[in-house]
Chain A
């Protein structure tokens, strides 16, 4: 199952549709900061409806939080992500973590989207647990501290700090 990004749906930029996925809180704050400079058509996914107030009117979708929960919640979240991916059809999926971002990355890549993991700037000494797992599902794996890139934990392009 795959798709090509539908260029006629593009509103801005050069037709790229980017889906930004993360859990609520600091991960989402980082994600919004990073995404605001991309100049693409962007949709957001997080685990809390109130997070929409941090956006500038971009479409926001809510999925179940799976940071501390059951297999059932993981399944619900996966189905929700699948539906969002199917409707939005992004060419790129971007995440700062944690668990919902990891899940989103795995599904998105199987559907043919390019995937980017940006490890949270909170991880100074080593890449997060979710990041370690996400590595092999990410086309681009970024860290936010230069010394982590030197230690070959990922690539450094810059940081929200």
Chain B
């Protein structure tokens, strides 16, 4: 199964149309799309406008491959579960987000194992073929940088000097 998701914030009709066309050419692959609050529904895929967090997790787990915008929730879930992910960044120029940060996010994610970034050639077919034939990764634990962040925060929270300081802005 291929799971397509546009996340919780905005619709992403360009992505849905793109994968819908691909799905029409590849009836051998079952596809399911979460398409957001607006936009025409796809014709070659089962779809839902929104899914709650648990459904997203279940569908991600069951997928051979996920196709999504450059949203960090999806990126983190796929990374942790070892699911190949095809990323199509939202473009500010096409009004697909409020800023151009997804283009930068996607570039920064280049080279992550199991992550396939749709380039300017927009060769979704080639990318999906690669993602579907590539190795399925292992489920992984928390990476080193996350443990460091947790430790840093934990000591900051427990710092007796900081904890004892008069509350900033506390009035009467």
Q: Do A and B bind each other?
A: yes
> Residues of A at under 8 Å CB distance from B?
1-2, 13-14, 16, 18, 24-30, 33-34, 36-40, 48-51, 53-54, 67, 91-92, 94, 109-114, 116, 118, 120-125, 128-129, 139-140, 142, 144-145, 157-161
Q: Which of chain B's residues have a CB closer than 8 A to the CB of A122?
A: 70-72, 101-102, 105
Q: CB < 8 Å: which of A30, A37, A140, A161 contacts B156?
A: A140
Among B19-27, B73-81, B131-139, the stretch in contact with A: B73-81
B interface residues, how many (CB within 8 angstroms): 47
State how many angstroms separate the Cβ of A136 from the closest Cβ of chain B: 11
Taken together as a complex, chains A and B put the C-alpha atoms of A149 and B135 apart, in Å, by: 35
Q: Which of chain B's residues have a CB closer than 8 A to the CB of A39?
A: 154
Q: Which of chain B's residues have a CB closer than 8 A to the CB of A140?
A: 156
Q: In the bound complex, do residue A25 and residue B146 qualify as a contact, i.e. CB atoms below 8 Å apart?
A: no
Q: In the bound complex, do residue B158 and residue A14 qualify as a contact, i.e. CB atoms below 8 Å apart?
A: yes
Annotate B141-161 by CB proximity to A: 1 below 8 A, 0 otherwise. Answer: 011111111111110111000
Q: Knowing A92-B157, A161-B143 touch, does A109 contact B169 (C-beta < 8 A)? A: yes
Question: When A and B form their complex, what is the total count of cross-chain residue pairs whose Cβ atoms lie within 8 Å?
Answer: 151
CB-defined A-B contacts under 8 Å, sample of 20? A1-B170, A16-B157, A25-B9, A26-B71, A48-B8, A51-B53, A109-B169, A110-B170, A111-B167, A116-B153, A116-B156, A122-B70, A123-B101, A124-B105, A125-B104, A129-B99, A145-B108, A158-B150, A159-B149, A161-B146
Q: In the bound complex, do residue B145 and residue A161 qualify as a contact, i.e. CB atoms below 8 Å apart?
A: yes
Q: Which of chain A's residues have a CB closer than 8 A to the CB of B104?
A: 124-125
Q: In the bound complex, do residue A2 and residue B170 qualify as a contact, i.e. CB atoms below 8 Å apart?
A: yes
Given contact pairs A26-B71, A53-B57, A112-B168, a sample of 8 additional A-B residue pairs in the complex whose CB atoms are under 8 Å apart:
A2-B171, A25-B8, A26-B7, A26-B74, A37-B146, A38-B150, A122-B101, A159-B149
Q: In the bound complex, do residue B167 and residue A53 qualify as a contact, i.e. CB atoms below 8 Å apart?
A: no
In the assembled complex, B62 has its CB within 8 A of some CB on chain A = no
Closest partner residue, chain A, to B74 (CB atom)? A26
Q: In the bound complex, do residue B77 and residue A113 qualify as a contact, i.e. CB atoms below 8 Å apart?
A: no
Annotate B89-122 by CB proximity to A: 1 below 8 A, 0 otherwise. Answer: 0000000000101101101100000000000000
Taken together as a complex, chains A and B put the C-alpha atoms of A36 and B162 apart, in Å, by: 22
Taken together as a complex, chains A and B put the C-alpha atoms of A72 and B145 apart, in Å, by: 40
In the assembled complex, B40 has its CB within 8 A of some CB on chain A = no
Residue of A51, A120, A121, A158 contacting most chain B CB atoms (<10 Å):
A158
Q: Knowing A1-B171, A26-B74, A37-B150 touch, does A124 contact B53 (C-beta < 8 A)? A: no
Q: In the bound complex, do residue A26 and residue B73 qualify as a contact, i.e. CB atoms below 8 Å apart?
A: yes
Q: Which of chain A's residues have a CB closer than 8 A to the CB of B147?
A: 37, 158
Q: In the bound complex, do residue A160 and residue B76 qualify as a contact, i.e. CB atoms below 8 Å apart?
A: yes
